[in-house]
Amino acid sequence: MGQAGYILRFVDIVLILLFGMISVSRIDPSDIQPPESTETPDKPIVRERVLFVGIQTNGTLQVGEENRMLHSLPELTGFLREKIDQFGRPSLKVRVRSSHRAPMQYLMQVAALCDEMGLRKSIEVETK
């Protein structure tokens, strides 16, 4: 075994000892406080709620986690108003999902409704 072999074994032993000492050592929390910025105030954290709206080929809408079926835009408007009342407008985002086989008019109607209600939206069109 040459010099390189001995050095590699030495490095292995040192690393094993180092990690062993780290794993058995006790780390106490520090009293040091990190610096706080005086330049800009902290912004409140807004948790985003994503509502899924699936568009079927016959125009029915599949909404929410419970996959509730809605048959018209007024029903969707009522559903979205319930969610706005429940979570607040700023925290809501609507993700519209449609198949490429569904008529484009349904997708555009849902997107226009989101715009009218002031909701952020994203659109996904499944191609396969």
Give the per-residue pLDDT at 16: 93
Backbone phi and psi for residue 62, each to the nearest 5 degrees, phi listed first:
-110, 120
Judging by beta carbons within 10 Å of its beta carbon (0-12, 13-18, 19+), is residue 77 exposed, middle or buried? Answer: middle
The set of residues, in sequence order, having a beta carbon less than 8 Å from that of 89 and lying 6+ positions away, is 118, 119
Give the per-residue pLDDT at 78: 92
CA distances from 56 to 12, 34, 64, 102, 114 (A): 60, 52, 14, 6, 18
pLDDT digit of tens for each residue in the chain (128 aa)? 677 778 889 999 999 999 888 888 776 777 777 777 777 766 666 677 888 999 988 888 999 877 888 998 999 999 999 988 888 888 889 999 998 888 889 999 999 999 999 999 988 888 76
**Cut 0.85: pTM above it:** no
Measured between alpha carbons, how far is 117 from 120 in angstroms, rounded to an integer?
Answer: 9
Give the per-residue pLDDT at 38: 73
Give the per-residue pLDDT at 45: 65
**CATH architecture, domain defined by 49-126:** 2-Layer Sandwich (3.30)
Judging by beta carbons within 10 Å of its beta carbon (0-12, 13-18, 19+), is residue 73 exposed, middle or buried? Answer: middle
Give the per-residue pLDDT at 65: 76
Give the per-residue pLDDT at 91: 83
CB 122 within 8 A of CB 96: yes
Measured between alpha carbons, how far is 116 from 89 in angstroms, rounded to an integer?
Answer: 12
